[in-house]
A and B are shown apart, each in its own frame.
Chain A
Amino acid sequence: MSLPQSLRTTVTPPELELIASEQLVEIIPLVSMERTAFISGAYGPLRPPNKCKIPLWMALNLKLKKKCHIVPPDWLNVDDLQAILNKETASNAYSEVPFRYVEIAKVLLDVASEDMPQPDKIRYLLKDLREARQAKCRDALALINHSDVKMTNLSSMELNEVRPVFVQSMNIWTKLVRDPTENYIGEVEEDERVS
């Protein structure tokens, strides 16, 4: 078939990573390069030691060849993450985080952990943050209904994680409350048995 079974209900984490790598990051280049035209625009010229903004995937590529240092985004440091985590555990709402923070933090920690201070601490904080948010997310499943659930401030990876369960349960809700005058009564009874 044109789309493999595993890709039909949701997108995979590597795909999300691919999308997230389109975002711009700052680097300190170690080699110089002329301005080059790319499909998404022209980047460069790289003139060490001046900072320069290029897409994340390009920065990772350069980093792997030891041709640059990546400047971590301003939210990716111990103090800011600690502040977010405190807020997260203190209140019931999701605190504000960059939409694709999971993906970006992961690739940066994988490839460029020596460019940031205390990478281990950052890893711990990210993990704590993730667990705190996951717990809230699971609680939210109890609130699901047939019309709307607010999920503002959840990041793309977290949404992707809960999507199969949430979408499925909302679909069942929708069928249960569907106007019984329509021709779907048989279907609804079947779903009731399933749920």
Chain B
Amino acid sequence: MNERHAPDLLPAQQVLLAGLLDHIHRQTDTVQTLRADPSSSEEDHFRIMLVQTEIERVKFIVRSYVRTRLFKIEKYARFITMNEELQMRMTATEQEHARRHADLTDEHFFSSVLQSLPPPQRALDEEFDLVPAMIAGPDLNRAVIARARSDCPALEYPNGKTGTFSKGNVVLTPYNVVERLVEEGFAELV
């Protein structure tokens, strides 16, 4: 769920995801074999039903996790291709997808509009004063609601104040204040 609330792309949970997918496969296999077995009793059928329900629940969560990442990757594709640090947080397939998505949109913009503009106006990455940059990156100042999982060191808020952040506390604050804690697992976004 952290991934859903964070404005920035969080490090990919590859190990966890692989483990979950493994579990799903194993459980589905077991269900298949048990189903094929004609001698199974009614009680067994019931257990199979419960196991299947759980598989579906887990699948749903995995899917929404992957979808959320995909959404962010596509949104910030151009930014990601230029940012080493973000690339470190992604899996190889995700990196490949981001690069191709960025290339495709570039190509599309070029063929639909940019090629008929005079050459000096064709760039997609100019930066002017007073105008937000053309390449959108994640907004690290966006407000999030964070909850402490364990006692954390005091937070430094943007107005210069500091505040304690002990277990169970909930606070609404810009993302960059709690970014560290969320990445290290001391706090969660809710």
Contact = CB atoms under 8 A, between A and B. Distances in A.
Contacts of A150: 163, 169-171
B161 A147 contact: yes
A185 interface: yes
A151 to B, nearest CB: 4
A186 B142 contact: no
A58 interface: yes
Nearest to A62: B50
Contact of B54 (A2, A40, A147, A151): A40
B12 interface: no
Nearest to B54: A38
A154 interface: yes
B68 to A, nearest CB: 6
Contacts of A15: 64
Interface string A146-159: 11111111101001
Contact of B1 (A11, A36, A177, A178): A11
B47 A36 contact: yes
* Interface residues on chain A, size class: 35 or more
Interface string A32-70: 011010111000000000000000011001000000000
Contacts of B51: 36, 38
Nearest to B129: A183
A111 interface: no
Contacts of A11: 1, 4-5
A187 B132 contact: yes
Nearest to A67: B46
Nearest to B44: A34
A147 B142 contact: no
Contacts of A147: 157-159, 161, 173-174, 177
Interface in B19-59: 20, 23-24, 27, 43, 46-47, 50-51, 53-55, 57-58
A33 B46 contact: yes
A166 B146 CA distance: 13
Contacts of A57: 53-54, 57
B98 interface: no
A83 interface: no
Contacts of A19: 1
A163 interface: yes
Interface of B: 1, 4-5, 20, 23-24, 27, 43, 46-47, 50-51, 53-55, 57-58, 60-61, 64, 67-68, 70-71, 74, 127-132, 139, 141-145, 155, 157-159, 161, 163, 168-174, 177, 190
20 contacts: A2-B68, A3-B68, A3-B71, A11-B1, A18-B61, A36-B50, A39-B24, A58-B53, A147-B158, A148-B173, A148-B177, A150-B171, A151-B172, A156-B190, A171-B139, A171-B143, A177-B158, A183-B128, A183-B130, A183-B132
